[in-house]
Amino acid sequence: MVAETNELLRRACKNTVAVPGFNIPYLPMLEPIVRALRDTDAFGLIMVARLEWMKFEAQSLEAVAEEYQRVKDERCTRLHLDHVPVIDEDGLPVDYLSIMRQAIDAGYQSVMIDGSRLPLAGNIAATRQVVELAHAAGIAVEGELGAVLGHEDGSVPSYEEIFASGKGFTDPAEAQQFVRQTEVDWLSVAVGSIHGSISKALKDKKKVEARLNIPHLRRISEVVKIPLVLHGGTGIDRRYISDAVRLGCVKINIGTALRQPFEQMRGDSVVKAQQLVYDTAISLLRDELNIIGSARVLKA
Ligand code: 13P
């Protein structure tokens, strides 16, 4: 029997091992990422977010699940549904419960509900609905509290402003309440990271080098005892990452770091673009995350 993703993240916390979640905005990226995990014996999640089938070329959550089933390696991988927002990056409401049902039917092994654009009570209510649905199907749920910005078009404050002011950072007491009332399995927190931009104007630009407010993360981890999640994992200095992992922030979402090389090369050839994704993933696993052999530690 394969270990459940929730159990693997708990083991990751205990062993202070990072678990990357790799986004799939283009279906041909999936195979080289799985291969990189297998070749380094590292454990990671393969994920797709709603905006990746709406605005990129992941096609659908079913298409990603099908490709995943074709190439998966259960020693090193699990399938996760990333960001299904209650209100999307364009401010529009999303039929999130239908998407969750679709994901459960398609074989996703964990899901994320992102109610972070709602006030606390609304976020708790929406997340709770998804927890009931997903737990009945036996899979784990990630919620988000606080604002990890970057996916929105238009006027987002500068990174330095966000970091210095702590605007949108997850409040530790609210996080404690959120986890108790929703019974989510993992919590995505805002402590300084930012998503790589997906707007037309900025999506090819080098992502800002984000930092993490480690003392703030510590305050959250003192009161929230479930695995924490770092979104916007591209381009954060590895010292911050290892400090975060030590504080139980073990799931690290990575999108832009692999999307941009794929997009730059795919005009030449998809095969070359896949090779570049593979090479980049290997160096992330080895040099940034330092998790070669983690599948053995986690006994996935
Ligand atoms: P980056 O694109 O900044 O790596 O963020 C990915 C992410 O957090 C997806 O949920």
Distance CA(281)–CA(288), nearest Å, equals: 10
CB 141 within 8 A of CB 130: yes
Mind listing the pLDDT tens digit for each residue in 148-177? 887 777 667 788 888 998 989 999 999 999
DSSP 111: E
Q: For residue 9, give Cα distances in angstroms to 2, 108, 166, 225.
A: 14, 16, 27, 12
Best residue among 64, 256, 288 to mutate for probing ligand 1's pocket (most ligand atoms within 8 Å of CB) is 256
CB-ligand 1 contact for 6 (6 Å cutoff):
no
Residue type, 122: G
The pLDDT of residue 300: 80
Mind listing the pLDDT tens digit for each residue in 250-297? 999 999 999 999 999 999 999 999 999 999 999 999 999 999 999 999
The pLDDT of residue 154: 65
The pLDDT of residue 201: 79
- State residue 26 phi and psi, 5-degree precision: -135, 125
Q: Counting beta carbons within 10 angstroms of the beta carbon of residue 49, is it exposed (0 to 12), middle (13 to 18) or buried (19 or more)?
A: buried
Please report where in the chains the tokens 């205990």 appear, as a residue: 14
Based on the residue annotation, tell me whether 82 is a catalytic residue of this protein. Answer: yes
Q: What does the longest C-alpha to C-alpha distance in the chain come to?
A: 51
DSSP 170: P
Mean pLDDT by 10 residues, the chain (300 residues): 89 98 98 98 98 98 98 98 96 98 98 97 98 98 92 76 90 98 98 88 87 97 98 94 98 98 98 98 97 95
| Annotated catalytic residue, options 41, 82, 204, 279 | 82
Q: How many domains does the chain have?
A: 1
Q: For residue 80, give Cα distances in angstroms to 95, 174, 221, 253.
A: 19, 25, 23, 11
For the CA of 233, the closest atom of ligand 1 is 4
The pLDDT of residue 161: 86
> What angle is formed at CA 202 by the lines to CA 201 and CA 208, rounded to 5 degrees?
160
Q: Which domain holds residue 37?
A: 2-299
For the CA of 234, the closest atom of ligand 1 is 4
Q: How far is CA 169 from the centre of its chain?
A: 17
Distance CA(178)–CA(166), nearest Å, equals: 19
The pLDDT of residue 1: 64
CATH number at residue 109: 3.20.20.70
